[in-house]
Each structure stands twice: as structure tokens, then as C-alpha cells.
Structure 1
Amino acid sequence: MTDHRPTIMLVHAHPDDEVISTGGIALKYHEQGARVVLVTCTRGEEGEIVDAELNTPENKARLAEIRDVELARAIALLNITDFHQLAYRDSGMINTPANEHPESFNKADLQAATGRLVALVRQYQPDVLISYDENGSYGHPDHIMAHKITVAAFHAAGDPSQFPEAGPAWEPKKLYYTAYRRSIWRKAWEYMQARGEKTPLDDPEADLSRYVDDPRTTTAIEIGQYLPIKLQSLLEHRTQIGPTWGFLSLPEELRGELLSHEHFALIESRVSLPEREEFETDLLLGIR
């Protein structure tokens, strides 16, 4: 029997998502000797180019290729060496024409897409699977699809009768959703409003349900010491993220307060865990 290295698999929709909600844990668990595997579902070709210098028709036409390079640079900083790109077409934001593109992730066959992820689960044998909640964190069609295939793969990978062509069965132990806690976003937005900056709270129809109710959050991983590298990695996604993006525009003290932890919701565990009144502080609790 070979020794099993504790492994966490991240299933994300687009390049840059891996940094925003899980960049800190990638750094932390790598340093602790665990393996972190990243699966990115699309190449992000529907993204908006926020850098005016880069926002040209030529770059828009080759945005998928540019974002491939940005992603490679970002994950190198996160010490992620096990990476797989499923390379579906970006479906675009909800209710946009890109939703109907026949090659979009949104239109992919759920069974086939799940089978591709099951094969990776069986190959890498992750103890922990992490993706988004049923609303895809903020309603993006690709995030919702990533959620669907991750949940399906979590339940199918350990069943040898399902996807027998995908390799020997492997059963992940824990399933988590990323948790964008509503209280943290609101605090950031209120600060930005006070400075006269535009935020989603300016819209009277702002849908705050897109973020996670604080009580649903079960797990808080302290990543403060890794925050500078995480933010450096985020800025490698230059077409999508600029120095004034979201939390990056906040003063350093407030940014550190709001970004010192990455939050998750434990959805299913196949290992016994102690009852807790406080947040769980280790994704590999009960595994190592």
C-alpha cells in the first residue's frame, strides 16, 4: 500500500476564481505538505477586459489565450502544479447571448462533464472537494454548472458502477462550498459608499442573496500571512483585475481585517467530526 498524501481539489469556473476564494488555502496547505489540485472549467473568453491599455479588439478576440497565460502565472505563485483545464467555452454572465452558445459550459451535457471530473477525482484521489454553492456564489451560469458537476462527482466517484471507464473508484471524504459571507461584503461596500465610490449597494434592486448567510458558514481558514502573495497572484489576472478592483481599493488595515480568512460551508463529511460551537479551522480535520 502506498502512502496517501492529503489532497484538496478545487473546482473553479474561470481563471481568477482560484485566487479570489481559495488562493490563501492553496498556499497554506501546500506549505503544510498537502497537495492542491486545481480544475478550471472554462477559459474565460467572455470576461470583460478592465485594463484600458489591454482592451483592444485584437486582445478581445484572443482573450482565452491571454487568460491561459495569466492563469499559469497566477497559479505558479500559489504553488499549484497539478492543474487541469476542462476548456469549456465561457457561458458569459446570466441573460447574455453567450449563454446560448452550443459550446458553452452552460450547455454541456451534465453526465459527460461529470464523467470528466470523476476521472480526475479518481486519478488524484482528493480527500476534500471544494466548489460553489447551488447559486454559484453569485448566479453566474458557469459557477452553477461547476457546482453541479462537483456535487455529482463527489457522489459518483466512489461508486465503481458509475463511469467505470474513468478508473478505479475513489471516495472523497468532505465536500465544501466556498462562502462569500454577506457581512464581509456589506462592510466593504459601506466603506466604499462613504468614500463616494459606486458599489452594488447603490442599486435598490441589489440581490444580496447572491452571497452566503453568515450562519451557513462552518469553516474559517486563517490565511493572513499568505495574503500578500494571494493579492500578487490576483493581479496576474491583469485583464480582469486592476489595482482598484473591489477589496484592493480598501485601505490596508481594513483589507487585512476582511481578507484574513477564507470561508467555507461544509456540506457533507464521510469522516466523524467533533461537535463545534466555533468555526472549523482545518479543511483536513478528521482526515490527517
Structure 2
Amino acid sequence: MCRTVELRQAVLARNDDGARELRARLAARGTAVVNLLSSPGSGKTALLEAELGLARERGVPVAALTADLATENDAVRLARSGAPVKQVLTDGLCHLETDMLRAHLAGWLPAETRLLFVENVGNLVCPASYDLGESLRVVLASVTEGEDKPLKYPTAFGLANLVLVTKADLAAAAEFDEAAFLASVARVNPGVEVVFTSARRGQGVGALLERALAVLDGAEVHRPVMAGTRAAGHAHEHVHGPAKGHDDDHGHDHEHDHEHEGHSGHAHAHPHASVVEGP
């Protein structure tokens, strides 16, 4: 057990170093990364497609990299926006890491890109521990997932700079308790902004783009309280801007679990990617 913890800390420390380097390199060229985390089926892709389309209409140079265990379905949907899109198939790995992201950006990311949206693997556990060099970390939850989602996955929600509630048009049908959800968010991440959205109805569409552009232009982001604490199993913190690391959840909400010990030295199979052209 001690060896597993030590290996995990080493892997995360290496990832954090790479994240700081990638963040600085992208900032130097005027690009900011937005890391999107959620459970499978939250409506993350639908909302991102709408945001990309709006960015294109406004003339904002954007791109998207989407990760999944299998299929290129999400990339095909996102490419309908006309933005440059790349699909990363993780071959069973339930999260992205900085080295993976950097490798897939090399030779692909258009030089004029101002915002790179990274749609992480649908999972609220493993991705929460990995800084990707993002300037804005966004966690999404749909009204159909329950008001206590933030309490079940406190690391994911506790490290968010912004929380988006999706499928708000279904709130009444799902008997969603908005007050209870907001109270749950406040318990794990006091002061974080929560925006209600519906990609189908257009509610809240544009809020993500506006927040991301503001950060790119130097606006301060919400600093999670959890980012300044030392959580179990980790001896580093996570802060966007000059970011450091993450802590970890102990729940399970992903399609494929793995042993972090096996990631020491990145012994897992390398994910592959494909570029999906827009219309």
C-alpha cells in the first residue's frame, strides 16, 4: 500500500511539473486551456458544441480536443461547429494526463487558437487528480444526476473554478431541487459560480465562452478552498494560474477503473487520436 501511494504521488508530481510547463508555453502564444469534467451522459458534448458554434460566429479562434474510451462520436458532433477538433481514444484509460495532451497538440493545434476546450473522459474520479495545464477547470452536472452529486464527488466539484448545471429544461420533470444542489456545491467549494444551462433551449449558452475569454484576458478565477489544503494521499495543491496539483476522490463514477501503480513511467498503452474535419 505504501508503495502504491508513493508511486501515485510521483506520477502526479511529474504530471504537475508538465502541466506548469504546458500552461506557460500556451500562455506565451496566447492560448488558454479549458478543462471540462463531468459524468458520462451529462450533456457536456451538446453544450460544448453550442459554445464552439457561438465562438465561431463571434470570430473567436477556438479548437477542441475530446477524449473517450472508444468511438469518434463526440468529435463528429463537435466538428459540426466548424471548429478544429481532435478525438483522442484512450484505450481504456479513464483520464487524460499532461504528457498525453501535449503529444496530441504537437503539430495539430492551429497557431491562432485562443481557447482550447478539452472534453475530458466522462468520469468524476480520476480526471479530478490531473492538472492538464488548464487556465479554467469547469465541472458539469445535469439536473437528472441528483442534488447530492457534489457531496459524492467532492474533489471534482471542490477544485472547480466554475460549475455548470446542464439540461435545465428537464429540471421540473426530474424534480430537481435547485436549493439543495446549490447548498451541496457550497459545502465543498464555497463561492464558486454556478450557471444553469440548456443546450437544447439555448439557456446559459455563451456563459462558458464568456468566462473563458475573461480568464484569457487576465480576469481572476475563483480560487477553490480545497486548492490550498493538503488532501489525503497528496502533498501538493491545485491552483489555476500558476497551478500545482490535485487531490483524489475515493468514490467510483467511471466506466473503467485502473490501478494508478501501473501508470508509473506510463507503462499503459498510448492513446491514439484522429482529426475530424468540420463542414
- TM-score, normalisation: structure 2: 0.39
Q: Which one scores higher on RCO, CA 8 angstroms, separation ≥ 6?
A: 2
- TM-score, normalisation: structure 1: 0.38
Q: Considering fraction of residues, name the structure with more helix.
A: 1
